Amino acid sequence: MVAVPDNQAAGASRARLLRLGAMALGLLLFIYVARSVGPQKLGETLVTGLTQGAMIALVALGYTMVYGVLKLINFAHSEVFMMGAYVGVFVLGAIGIANPLLSFVCTIVVAIIGSSLLGITVERIAYRPLRGRGRGALVRVTPLVTALGVSVLLQNAAQLFFSARYRSYPQLITGSMDIPGVGPVGKSRVIILVVAVLVMIGLELIVKKTWFGKAMRALSSNEEAARLMGVRTSWVISSTFALGSSLAAVGAVLFCIDQSSVYPTMGTAIGTRAFVAAVLGGIGSIPGAMLGGLLLGVLGELVKLSSYSGSIDAPVFVVLIAVLLVRPAGLLGSNRAEKV
Amino acid sequence: MRVNHPTRAKAVLPEGAPLLEIADVRVSYGGIKALKGISMKVMAGEVVAIIGANGAGKTTTLKMLARLLPVDSGTVRFRGEDVRDVPTEEIVARGMSLVPEGRAIFPNLTVRENLELGAYLHRDKVTMAETMADVVELFPRLGERMVQEGGTLSGGEQQMLAIGRAMMARPELLLLDEPSLGIAPKLAAQIFKAIRTIAKSGVTVVVVEQNTRMALGSSERAYVLRTGEVALEGVSAVLAEDPEIQKAYLGG
Amino acid sequence: MMPASGKGVASVGKKAREPSKRGWAFAAAALVVVVVLELGLERMIPDSSIRQLLMLAACNVLVALSLNVINGMAGQFSIGHAGFVGLGAYTSAVVSAHLHEAMGGGEVTFAKSFVVVPIALLASAVVAGTFGYLVGLPSLRLKGDYLAIVTLGFAEIFRLLIATAQLGEKETIGEAAAKIGKDGVVGPFFHMLQVGITSLGGQNGYAGPKNQGLPLYAGPFWVFGLALVLGVLAYRLKFSGWGRALRALREDEIAAAAVGVDPTRYKVRSFVIAAVGAGIAGGLMAMNRDGTPTVQPDNYNFQASFDAITMVILGGSGSVTGAAIGGVLITFTVKAIEAVQSTRVVQDLKSSVPWLDLNALRMMLYAAVLIALMIWRPEGLLGERELFQKQKLRPLKLPKPSPDHPKPDEPDRAPAAAANEPAKPVVAAADEPAKSDGDEPEKGAPP
Give me the residue spans of the domains in chain C: 7-165+200-302
Answer for the pair B72, B26: CB distance below 8 angstroms, yes or no. Answer: yes
- Residue B94: its H or E element: helix B88-94
Parallel, antiparallel, or unpaired: how do β-strands B47-52 and B221-226 relate? parallel
Which residues are within 8 A (CB) of A66 and not within 5 positions of it... i.e. 6 or more apart?
A72, A74, A77, A240, A241, A244
CATH architecture of B20-249: 3-Layer(aba) Sandwich (3.40)
- pLDDT at position B76: 92
Is CATH 2.40.128 the classification given to domain C7-165+200-302? Answer: no
Chain-centroid distance of CA A315 in Å reads: 18
From chain C, the residues in CB contact with A126 under 8 A are: 371, 374-375
- pLDDT at position C18: 56
* Residue ranges for chain C with pLDDT beneath 70: 1-19, 144, 166-172, 180-187, 354-355, 388-447
Give residue A233's identity as a one-letter amino acid code: T
The Cα A126–Cα A124 span in angstroms is 6
Confirm or reject contact between C425 and chain B (CB < 8 A).
yes
Chain B neighbours, 3+ Cβ pairs < 8 A: A, C
ipTM above 0.90, yes or no: no
**Chain A positions with Cβ closer than 8 Å to B:** 1-3, 5-7, 211, 214-215, 217-218, 221-222, 224-233, 334, 336
The Cα C331–Cα C366 span in angstroms is 13
Q: What is the pLDDT of residues A229-280, one digit of tens each?
A: 999 999 999 999 999 999 999 999 998 888 778 998 888 888 888 988 998 8
From chain B, the residues in CB contact with A334 under 8 A are: 108
- pLDDT at position B169: 92
Confirm or reject contact between A3 and chain C (CB < 8 A).
yes
Give the residue from chain B lying closest to A132, CA to CA: B68
- Residue B81: its H or E element: strand B81-82
How far does the CA of residue B211 sit from the closest CA of chain C (Å)? 10
Q: What is the pLDDT of residues A31-67, one digit of tens each?
A: 777 777 676 777 778 888 899 899 999 999 999 999 9
From chain B, the residues in CB contact with A209 under 8 A are: none
- pLDDT at position A10: 53
- pLDDT at position B24: 92
How far does the CA of residue C364 sit from the closest CA of chain A (Å)? 5
Answer for the pair B214, B182: CB distance below 8 angstroms, yes or no. Answer: no
The Cα C202–Cα C16 span in angstroms is 43
Q: What is the pLDDT along chain A (340 residues), one digit of tens a residue?
A: 334 444 444 555 666 777 777 778 878 777 777 777 676 777 778 888 899 899 999 999 999 999 988 888 899 999 999 999 999 989 988 888 788 888 889 999 999 999 999 999 999 999 988 887 655 556 777 888 899 899 999 999 998 888 888 888 777 777 777 777 667 778 888 888 899 889 989 998 999 999 999 999 999 988 889 999 999 999 999 999 999 999 999 999 998 888 778 998 888 888 888 988 998 898 888 888 999 999 999 888 887 776 666 667 777 878 887 887 777 778 887 654 333 2
Which residues sit opposite B224 in a β-bridge? B51, B232
Q: What is the pLDDT of residues C110-134, one digit of tens each?
A: 888 888 899 999 999 999 999 999 8
Chain-centroid distance of CA C226 in Å reads: 15
Give the residue from chain B lying closest to C433, CA to CA: B182
For the whole model, what pTM was predicted?
0.81
Answer for the pair C274, C136: CB distance below 8 angstroms, yes or no. Answer: no
Decide if A324 and C149 are in contact by the 8 Å CB cutoff: yes
Q: Torsion-angle region of residue C172: left (phi > 0), alpha (psi -120 to 50) or beta?
A: beta
- pLDDT at position A174: 74
The Cα B146–Cα B56 span in angstroms is 37
Which residues are within 8 A (CB) of B32 and not within 5 positions of it... i.e. 6 or more apart?
C401, C403, C414, C415, C416
Nearest partner of C295 among C220, C200, C372, judged by Cα: C200
From chain C, the residues in CB contact with B55 under 8 A are: 411-418
Comparing CB atoms, the residue among C139, C145, C160 nearest residue A73 is C145
Decide if B55 and C418 are in contact by the 8 Å CB cutoff: yes
- pLDDT at position C398: 52
Decide if C423 and B184 are in contact by the 8 Å CB cutoff: no
Nearest partner of C368 among C308, C313, C432, judged by Cα: C313
From chain A, the residues in CB contact with B165 under 8 A are: 229
Confirm or reject contact between C303 and chain B (CB < 8 A).
no
* Residue ranges for chain B with pLDDT beneath 50: 1-9
Give whole-number Cα distances, A122 to A89, A149, A240, in Å. Answer: 22, 11, 12
Which residues sit opposite A176 in a β-bridge? A186
Give me the residue spans of the domains in chain B: 20-249
- pLDDT at position C87: 95
φ and ψ at residue A267, rounded to 5 degrees: -60, -45
Decide if B59 and C440 are in contact by the 8 Å CB cutoff: no
Answer for the pair A254, A293: CB distance below 8 angstroms, yes or no. Answer: no
φ and ψ at residue C22, rounded to 5 degrees: -65, -35
Decide if B98 and A228 are in contact by the 8 Å CB cutoff: yes
Comparing CB atoms, the residue among C160, C406, C434 nearest residue A135 is C406
* Per-residue three-class SS string for chain C: CCCCCCHHHHHHHHHHHCCCHHHHHHHHHHHHHHHHHHHHHHHHCCCHHHHHHHHHHHHHHHHHHHHHHHHHHCCCCCCCHHHHHHHHHHHHHHHHHHHHHHCCCCCCCHHHHHHHHHHHHHHHHHHHHHHHHHHHHHHHCCCCCHHHHHHHHHHHHHHHHHHCCCCCCCCCHHHHHHHCCCCCCHHHHHHHHHHHHHCCCHHHCECCCCCCCCCCCECHHHHHHHHHHHHHHHHHHHHCHHHHHHHHHHHCHHHHHHCCCCHHHHHHHHHHHHHHHHHHHHHHHHHECCCCCCECHHHHCHHHHHHHHHHHHHHCCCCHHHHHHHHHHHHHHHHHHHHHHCCHHHHHHHHHCCCCCHHHHHHHHHHHHHHHHHHHCCCCCCCCCCCCCCCCCCCCCCCCCCCCCCCCCCHHHCHHHCCCCCCCCHHHHHCCHHHHCCCCCCCCCCC
| Dihedral sign (CA B107, B108, B110, B114) | negative
Burial pattern A280-303, b for ≥16 Cβ within 10 A else e, equals bbbbbbbbbbbbbbbbbbbbbbbb
Q: Which of residues 191-250 of C touch A (CB under 8 A)?
A: 247, 250
Answer for the pair B104, B181: CB distance below 8 angstroms, yes or no. Answer: no
The Cα A299–Cα B48 span in angstroms is 62
From chain B, the residues in CB contact with C441 under 8 A are: 152-154, 157
Q: Torsion-angle region of residue B104: left (phi > 0), alpha (psi -120 to 50) or beta?
A: left
Answer for the pair B88, B134: CB distance below 8 angstroms, yes or no. Answer: no
Answer for the pair B176, B207: CB distance below 8 angstroms, yes or no. Answer: yes
- pLDDT at position B184: 87
